[in-house]
């Protein structure tokens, strides 16, 4: 059994979806591990991860609108230390995922045809986000 790790840094420009599928593929190629399990972990409480469609950008737009609807700004939250988008960002992150696990087959992520891996930035302003990648396998 072998392991490989890398911290992926994603510079965001504000709220939205940032595809990291290609960066994950680069990491897997460099790991030279043929089969196993990849875990991607987001080290933040106001950003998250998702595996979703990467073909039609309307999917990402609709997801963004939905997340804004279920955790709107200005809803009277107590926690607003960093502004009106602070608590809604925490709620959106809590309702999505801080980590995803993906099987690896023949050295590649076993994603479906239309699947991509995305960092979701829930804050309005730019951030530097870290995603820890861990691969274990043979």
pLDDT at 6: 98
Task: Tell me the pTM.
Answer: 0.96
Q: With beta carbons less than 8 A apart as the criterion, state whether 100 and 107 touch.
A: no
pLDDT at 122: 98
Tokens representing 104 are: 């690896």
Half-sphere exposure of 10 (CA within 13 A, CB side): 31
Question: Does the pLDDT value for residue 80 go beyond 90?
Answer: no
DSSP character for 114?
T
Q: Tell me the per-residue pLDDT of 8-17, one tens digit each, with 9 for 90 and over.
A: 999 999 999 9
CATH number at residue 35: 2.60.120.460
Question: Does the pLDDT value for residue 77 go beyond 90?
Answer: yes
Q: Which domain holds residue 46?
A: 2-137
Question: CA nearest 131: which of 31, 50, 34?
Answer: 50
pLDDT at 15: 97
């Amino acid at each position: 059994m072998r392991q490989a790790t890398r911290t992926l840094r994603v510079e965001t420009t504000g709220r939205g979806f940032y595809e990291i599928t290609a960066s994950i593929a680069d990491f897997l190629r460099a790991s030279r591990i043929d089969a196993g399990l990849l875990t991607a972990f987001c080290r933040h409480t106001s950003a998250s991860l998702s595996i979703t469609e990467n073909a039609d950008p309307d999917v990402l737009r609709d997801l963004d609108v939905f997340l804004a609807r279920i955790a709107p700004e200005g809803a009277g939250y107590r926690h607003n230390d960093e502004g009106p988008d602070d608590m809604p960002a925490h709620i959106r992150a809590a309702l999505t995922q801080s980590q995803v696990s993906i099987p690896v087959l023949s050295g590649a992520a076993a994603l479906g045809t239309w699947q991509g891996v995305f960092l979701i930035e829930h804050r309005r302003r730019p951030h530097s986000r870290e995603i820890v990648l861990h691969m274990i396998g043979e």
